[in-house]
Structure 1
Amino acid sequence: MYRVTYYLKSSSYRSRSYSSENGALKAIWKWLREKPEADHAICLFPECEPRTIDDWRELPFVEPKPKADFYSSTKWLRIRALALEKYGARCACCGATPADGVRMHVDHIKPRSIHPDLELELENLQVLCEACNLGKSNLSEKQWRD
């Protein structure tokens, strides 16, 4: 068992056990990085002397890269524009247009969560108003367009 005691600048502390050394060190790294009130942590690991860690930079971890947002990607914006050009800015379900005061969405007929291989296929896209698209969610694979 890998035991860590976390100390705050206010002199209060708490202890926690971890099943692996890497898990304990990663938790310390995150805690020291994210908590301004953090002071230091003391590690009690099997067959090792107690170790005090005062700064997250002492540990060999790096900040995870944020995931790229699919809907902000150049590829998606390009295929979305093609879908609007090909199918028009009219809801394939109810016929509403921006002139009716609705927001238009380009919908995946077969949802990305189930068919990620079709996320950039023009034939898998249809134009829906916001209400129809949100009502559909990813439960239906109904193709409304002609």
Structure 2
Amino acid sequence: MIYICSKCKSEKVNIEDKILCPKCHKKYIDELNGVKEPKQRHPFEGEKGMRFKNRFLAEFGECCERCGTTYRSILQVHHVKPFSKFPHLSYDYENLDVLCKKCNQHIGNSGLVDYERKIKTETFNL
């Protein structure tokens, strides 16, 4: 018989408890024991990340790729596939776009691409 996890709705559920999948069950037990998951660090924190972000914006940050605003002070580097789920793509040019703060917040981690993306090729190393 297939049971559905009550938390994440996956079909892989421990037969013993018939409520949570193994991943959600572990999180539940960890929460009961006071174990907290370490917060994932943003890839643009730290010296290397800031240097990468600043060079990327200097090279490709003339305007927001979604709305076209040219206010450089509000331009940000956006991860098309969120770094929290795809950390190996954090510095991949094919996964990065330049968006203004408003557009970046609107899109968030949705993976939505409702604008024409510019083609970017790597031209520098850290």
TM-score tier, shorter chain, comes to 0.5 to 0.7
1:111 and 1:141 in contact (8 A); partners too:
no
Partner in structure 1 of residue 110 of structure 2: 139
SS in 2 for 1:71: coil
User: Given the two structures, how large is their TM-score scaled by the length of structure 1?
Assistant: 0.47
Write the deviation string for residues 44-78 of structure 1: whole angstroms up to 9, x where unpaired: xxxxxxxxxxxxxxxxxxxxxx9765432122112
SS at match of 2:67: coil
User: How far apart, CA to CA, are the structure 1 residues paired with 2:40 and 2:86?
Assistant: 19
Shift of the 144–112 alpha-carbon distance from structure 1 to 2, 3 Å rule, reads farther
> Identity of paired residues, percent?
31
CA gap of 1:86–1:141, structure 2 versus 1, over 3 A, is: farther
Q: Determine whether 1:85 maps to 2:49.
A: no
**TM superposition score normalised by structure 2:** 0.53
Which has more radius of gyration? 1
User: Which residue is equivalent to 2:99?
Assistant: 128
Give the number of the structure whose residues are more often strand, by fraction. Answer: 1
Q: How many corresponding residue pairs?
A: 82
CA RMSD for the aligned pairs?
Answer: 2.7
Report the residue type matching 1:80 in the other structure.
K
For the 8 Å contact 2:76–2:99, the answer to whether it is kept is: yes
Q: Distance in 2 between matches of 1:84 and 1:90?
A: 10
Unaligned ranges ≥5, structure 2: 1-32, 119-126
1:116 to 77, 87, 99: 87
Residue pairs, 1:11-30, within 5 angstroms = none
